[in-house]
Structure 1
């Protein structure tokens, strides 16, 4: 597709092409006016307070919006801003006239706020997934084209140094043309179970973990392979959580089954979650510690997919939500060799506290973990030895990717190696794999990506 340039008021610069999305970037002056809709954990804890702390010289929050007034008030205090708050998004847009709207609401509502923000004159930064189905996805793409506004999708995993090194090796053709990939992602019984406590356990709200969680992983595959998916065949089941258990309650607090439930969690011991959710649940009834065995849970807890790409690569992918440990491993088979990598596999990297692992990973800093490395194994065909490539391990969200992504979005948009900043095409192609997987399970057949979008899959997105 043709390259287009978008420049407005000398404050928005462009990176990328239509093949990977046009990316708005923020110059130093004047300050960009930001508005945030959705003041939950991700909105307040990642797009709220850290942006205030790290980019207050070039950005300013002009409005916060949420349907829960208690959570909204807590978010405002936690972020340390003095902007007005709103329960009505349209009113916030009319009163504050933001340059950029940050969308961190329930996944199934992303499309509404993304579309209306663009129609009302703002660019958008949205949490992944961009949305939860093909119809909503199409609406976003059409509105972006019609309005000339732009959307950034927050694919932070791309920005971790480990992920970038894998990308560099693949881009350099280190093991030749890639022909197939095996990608396994394990969520442990602490972090994995947490998705079933929340609204994420309902397909109508999250699109299932095929979309909410796996779109992260599919985006990495699309980016690493520099190609678009063309077809998906999937299987999945719900066999541990939800209605499968012999007993259940409404929430962990006060549950009669506490003595025998291994998944019991006392949310009140976490000040952050207690203040953000428990103390404000009377406003909207949202239970952050819902029972993982609720009958209403209808997402899958084990998933596998075969994905074929436009460049001929075949991928075997799996996601498990009740593993004793959390981590991932991947192998790229090339015509000249094999590249393997992994993170947090206990028998390869040593034991970690699995219960505290996710909280530690979400700490927002970029510090190197002293003496710790991530590793990539490369071995050439017919070679007698393999090569181990070490990358310093970084603390902080998503392997150090969180803050690096924000730095690129707000301060250094020209630092865009391998088109690392993600736009609507990236958002679409990642979520549509998940949508296709859902459809494949429901209809027991292979689903073509072309059934879901007018975007033409590209064999080479360069």
Structure 2
């Protein structure tokens, strides 16, 4: 009876999470000590083994257990089991893993273009599914996921961690409280430096057929934030984009960084042999599937954009001006909300605004880290009301784990799924769809030279109010 109650509690909580709400009456998973949550993971790359693997084992072993890991690469699978710290069985066959273990939750961290396969099959086999962002890479796969969730009466959660950063939550709080009246327009600019930005073009993300382009893989984070901040759905997109820095735009190239003749002259030379984890996870397992982690970022196969700009009109009539730069000297972002009563400005990691002694590579490593002691710090948000002086609000800020969002997302999903969240940060399949559809529409707009209506991509009708 208690086991059944545990599973019912989890399914109910997941259902409410996927709907972007919370349940006040269900007991937390941690209250059920007799049986742990049964979890399986498919896709054992760096994100799967660390954030959705090792961190769950390290932090939540009292309430969950891995009962299966799946990957077509046997070498990575063996490494993943040891790195994560689990004794569960490993599988090349996804169906076999599900049938033999009957998990409560499937976590999908495969390449973006295959997310839909495992999400849909997991739902068909009776599981709730949690997927790493982006939900998928195009509108056809998106519709298939929407149909599957409806048909099988199961739920999909999308792992949007940026919503959970205290800094981003403060921006939401200011907007939600009406501090600048009704929002009319937004300017949002994201800068990837030549360490982080370049890394996408070395990996499978540089191919549209596997990553959907950075319009989808990376910008899905940003569009989801705006959708959430504005509490509205995107309605129409017009965009520009080009590939003119990486890929075939360069005058020279090699096979990969390890055996390239240009290592002494290429500013982007990256020595993977100095990173033990990348060597163990990727290089030692190339023989199984041919995947090269340190590919040349100037290879001619790259077919995504490295500069991107879009204008998005929302169903509530707000206009977003957005850009993504992939070869900036620094990594950071700026956003401004214009409203009928004033303006909110927020920004992180703009080097001219602070005195950081860390290198750009160190800053990125800290953002991706899942442990370590946090140093107390604050970052400003500017609130400027019409006819009044501006106010500088100092917001507590955490560097590690995507601004502190990673651990808060995990706590919500696994420890406190029933707790009421005043900011509605939990993300379901509709949130995942609306974020990737902006990127999909941007790609289509660039190709056609025309604005693209979101409603024409799937059967989801944009709503002026998101929830």
Normalised-by-shorter TM-score class? over 0.9
Find the residue that maps to 2:137 and give its secondary structure.
coil
Counterpart mapping for 1:357-372 below 5 A: 357-365=363-371, 368-370=374-376, 372=377
| 1:19/1:461 contact within 8 Å kept | no
Provide the C-alpha distance between the structure 2 equivalents of 1:164 and 1:21, rounded to a whole number of angstroms: 15
CA-CA distance at 1:17 after TM superposition: 6.9
Provide the C-alpha distance between the structure 2 equivalents of 1:317 and 1:456, rounded to a whole number of angstroms: 22
CA-CA distance at 1:11 after TM superposition: 2.9
Counterpart mapping for 1:265-414 below 5 A: 265-351=270-356, 352-365=358-371, 368-370=374-376, 372-383=377-388, 385-414=389-418
CA 1:23–1:118 in 2, change beyond 3 Å: closer, same or farther?
A: farther
* Runs of at least 5 residues in structure 1 that lack an aligned partner in the other structure: 1-6
CA 1:388–1:316 in 2, change beyond 3 Å: closer, same or farther?
A: same
Stretch deviating more after TM superposition (93-102 or 12-21): 12-21
Match of 1:164 among 134, 159, 169: 169
CA-CA distance at 1:148 after TM superposition: 0.9
| 1:152/1:422 contact within 8 Å kept | yes
Provide the C-alpha distance between the structure 2 equivalents of 1:366 and 1:425, rounded to a whole number of angstroms: 34
Match of 1:60 among 46, 58, 65: 65
CA-CA distance at 1:101 after TM superposition: 0.4
CA-CA distance at 1:22 after TM superposition: 6.9
Find the residue that maps to 1:187 and give its secondary structure.
strand
CA-CA distance at 1:369 after TM superposition: 2.2
| 2:7/2:104 contact within 8 Å kept | no
CA-CA distance at 1:235 after TM superposition: 0.3
Partner of 2:3: none
Provide the C-alpha distance between the structure 2 equivalents of 1:124 and 1:73, rounded to a whole number of angstroms: 23
CA-CA distance at 1:21 after TM superposition: 5.0
| 1:125/1:151 contact within 8 Å kept | yes
Q: Indicate whether 1:109 and 2:111 are aligned.
A: no
CA 1:376–1:367 in 2, change beyond 3 Å: closer, same or farther?
A: farther
Structure-1-length-normalised TM-score? 0.95
CA-CA distance at 1:392 after TM superposition: 1.4
CA-CA distance at 1:460 after TM superposition: 1.2
| 2:231/2:466 contact within 8 Å kept | yes
Measured against aligned partners, the alpha-carbon deviations of 1:347-371 in whole angstroms (never above 9, x if no partner) come to 012233112221111111485422x
Q: Indicate whether 1:37 and 2:42 are aligned.
A: yes
Q: Indicate whether 1:133 and 2:132 are aligned.
A: no
Find the residue that maps to 2:8 and give its secondary structure.
coil
| 1:365/1:403 contact within 8 Å kept | no
Match of 2:435 among 430, 441, 444: 430
| 2:238/2:311 contact within 8 Å kept | yes
Provide the C-alpha distance between the structure 1 equivalents of 2:375 and 2:390, rounded to a whole number of angstroms: 25
Provide the C-alpha distance between the structure 2 equivalents of 1:414 and 1:319, rounded to a whole number of angstroms: 36
Partner of 1:4: none
Provide the C-alpha distance between the structure 1 equivalents of 2:174 and 2:211, rounded to a whole number of angstroms: 34
Partner of 1:442: 447
| 1:331/1:340 contact within 8 Å kept | yes
Provide the C-alpha distance between the structure 2 equivalents of 1:157 and 1:54, rounded to a whole number of angstroms: 20
Find the residue that maps to 1:413 and give its secondary structure.
coil
Stretch deviating more after TM superposition (300-309 or 388-397): 388-397
Stretch deviating more after TM superposition (356-365 or 47-56): 356-365
| 2:331/2:349 contact within 8 Å kept | yes
CA 1:268–1:39 in 2, change beyond 3 Å: closer, same or farther?
A: same
Provide the C-alpha distance between the structure 2 equivalents of 1:312 and 1:366, rounded to a whole number of angstroms: 43
CA RMSD, 1 decimal:
1.7
Partner of 1:27: 29
Provide the C-alpha distance between the structure 1 equivalents of 2:412 and 2:308, rounded to a whole number of angstroms: 33
The aligned length equals 454
Match of 1:260 among 262, 265, 287: 265
Find the residue that maps to 1:218 and give its secondary structure.
helix
Find the residue that maps to 1:166 and give its secondary structure.
helix
CA 1:407–1:17 in 2, change beyond 3 Å: closer, same or farther?
A: closer
| 1:366/1:394 contact within 8 Å kept | no
Provide the C-alpha distance between the structure 2 equivalents of 1:449 and 1:22, rounded to a whole number of angstroms: 24
